[in-house]
Chains A and B, each alone.
Chain A
Amino acid sequence: MSILNPSKMGANSWGWMFVTPTRAAGWVALILFIILMIYYSIPRDRSFFLDVVTDYVQVTTDHDTQIVWDIAEAHLCQPRHKLSGDPPKAQLKGNEPLCDGTIYHETLVANVELDWPQGVTLALRRTPKQPLDIVILHDEKRKLEIGGEPVVSESLLRFRQDAFDATGGFGLSGDVVIGQKAEHGTIALLRSGRFETLEKPYWRNEVYLVDEGTLSLGDVVSIEPDKGDDSSSTYVFVTTEPNVKHLRVVAVSGEGRNRLALSRATANKVYLEPSWTERLARDPFILAIGTLMAFIPAVFGAISAFLDKGKEKPEQDNETSGPDATATNVESSDVEDAVSPKTPRAKPETATVSPDAATNT
């Protein structure tokens, strides 16, 4: 029975909107929807995982770089135009030169441990002719040494395949860019790969996968800090696999306000950020709630049906012999309830409550 009639309410009273059970449920659903939308729209700390086959990865080391490289053998090639004075001839200890002696001064680096300082940009590159080249870029004012040899910026650290294989791979941390834009003359491209975005929701401790996707030939990906936030360090591990001509790179960013930037050919850089609906749809908590919501009514329905069946069993004979049941010949339990002697069928006139009658009461 309706308690309040909107047509009879005063203009200032909106209470009727909340009182009707259907409307109240609607309002609750709307408020819940808005709360969920806000909760899942707020930016969160996130981390990225990348697994990429590429020919190029660039890392600018940061203060977190405390990884020591153990190098058995490499060739350090320094551009002659950067060296002051007349540098000595190549010191290769019987090894074949790997660099053009007219433009590079080449030195063999053997049995050294490298601990890269902060602020050095290392471009690791693989080409059809060279298994691994590392272009070293740093501020000319600072002193950088490898195996006691001063290193100028724009030098090459060149590895033979067996020497690279012997290291197992290189780890680095800092700001990372993987791939180079697909332009004419670019050899070292990202070939393929995939990314995963993981986020930590507010007031919860777990981390869950909110987005994932694939990367294509010529893509350039980097992990950048969100506006106004400091960059968080990304760890990369660079290695090769047998019979694979490219570098295999895995990168894991630290948790923070980061964004995954993607540049593709001539298109503008875009940021691969999950939407609030993706966060919601992939949240294990929501999935669990959804499962429960679907499961509980089913259980209650089953229990209710079971109990009702137990109660109705002794009266089944009466029902089946009743004139209505035989007339309609239906088996639904709801209809059985309607025609059972416990809930006698009311006459149409008394069952209908007109609005006027309701207000009069």
Chain B
Amino acid sequence: MNKRANLLHLVLCFSVSAFLSAGSTSAAEILALEPFNIVEEDLKGEALISGNWLVGVHTIGETAPVKPQLYSYVPKGWAGRTICTRVTDQDGRYNALYEYKIPDTWKGAPIEFTYPTKFDDHIKKTDAGNSGVALHLGDCSQVSEEFLPVYWNARPAENVSGSGKLELLLNVNAGRADSVFGEITIGAVATPLQCMPTPNKSVAFNYQCRAALTVSNVSEAGIVLRRLRLGREAPSRQASVVLTRYSLDQNQ
């Protein structure tokens, strides 16, 4: 009886240590970058009205086991640059601006952006569908049009390294638009964006645009968003986004 218990204990310890070592190996490959400046983090009783049109640039993955979690692939060209993460929930009550500094010798790889928060319970409930995370080049005092897609409270799906396409989700504040459409262009290939009004009464964004993209390596894509308003076309909006497919288990 004792021998059996000891054996069980041994197997259990081995399993746990194997699991932990696998996790630590995986985590060791990814740089965990802390924000050097938390410009603002607030959960208000009343909704904020944001002037930004691109509220969230997300890639769709599988739900993260631990939250909050924020991943993005940062290209080599962004080495030494400051980047800003804007996080807004769909009610417009939560608003956060975090600044991160990319190391000067950066070679291009996924980064886990650590996200210390005062509102842990609230943040854990958010995902790409009900919040907007826009990670853009430059500090938070400006709104640039160069974005990186993020996995927010999600991580790349295990089969991402297979033949699956990269699913991009844009959360857009289209104002009083009657119709929203657009396209995303990688090289010479333009893929239409499928834009739909948000099903619930969201304050921060009112349209969600999706595209399934074939991405072979790190590539810059151009986004053009068009809106019909009061029977005529409103000025279009442009942004660029650096896309790549990656796995957290291996660096690219």
Contacts and interface: CB of A to CB of B under 8 A. Distances in A.
Interface of A: 77, 79, 81-82, 98-100, 102-104, 127, 129-130, 133, 135, 137, 154, 156, 158, 180, 183, 185-188, 266-268
B228 A154 contact: yes
With most chain A CB atoms within 10 A of its CB, the pick from B47, B179, B181 is B179
Nearest to B175: A185
A103 B176 contact: no
Interface in B223-247: 226, 228, 230-233
A99 B231 contact: yes
Contacts of B175: 185
Given A137-B197, A154-B178, A154-B228, A183 B49 contact: yes
22 contacts: A79-B179, A81-B179, A81-B181, A99-B231, A100-B232, A103-B228, A103-B232, A104-B228, A133-B230, A133-B231, A135-B178, A154-B179, A154-B228, A156-B231, A185-B176, A186-B176, A187-B176, A188-B176, A266-B49, A268-B45, A268-B46, A268-B47
Interface in B53-82: none
Overall SS of chain A's interface:
loop
Contacts of B197: 137
A82 B195 CA distance: 11
Contacts, number: 50
Interface in B194-252: 197, 226, 228, 230-233
Contacts of A99: 231
Contacts of B45: 268
7 A-B pairs closest in CB distance: A154-B179, A81-B181, A268-B46, A79-B179, A135-B178, A103-B233, A100-B232
A261 B197 CA distance: 22
Contacts of B228: 79, 103-104, 154
Given A183-B49, A266-B46, A100 B231 contact: yes
Nearest to B45: A268
A104 B231 contact: yes
Contacts of A100: 231-233
A102 B46 CA distance: 41
Contacts of A180: 176
Given A137-B197, A185-B176, A158 B46 contact: no
Nearest to A125: B230
A12 B46 CA distance: 54
A297 to B, nearest CB: 50
B199 to A, nearest CB: 10
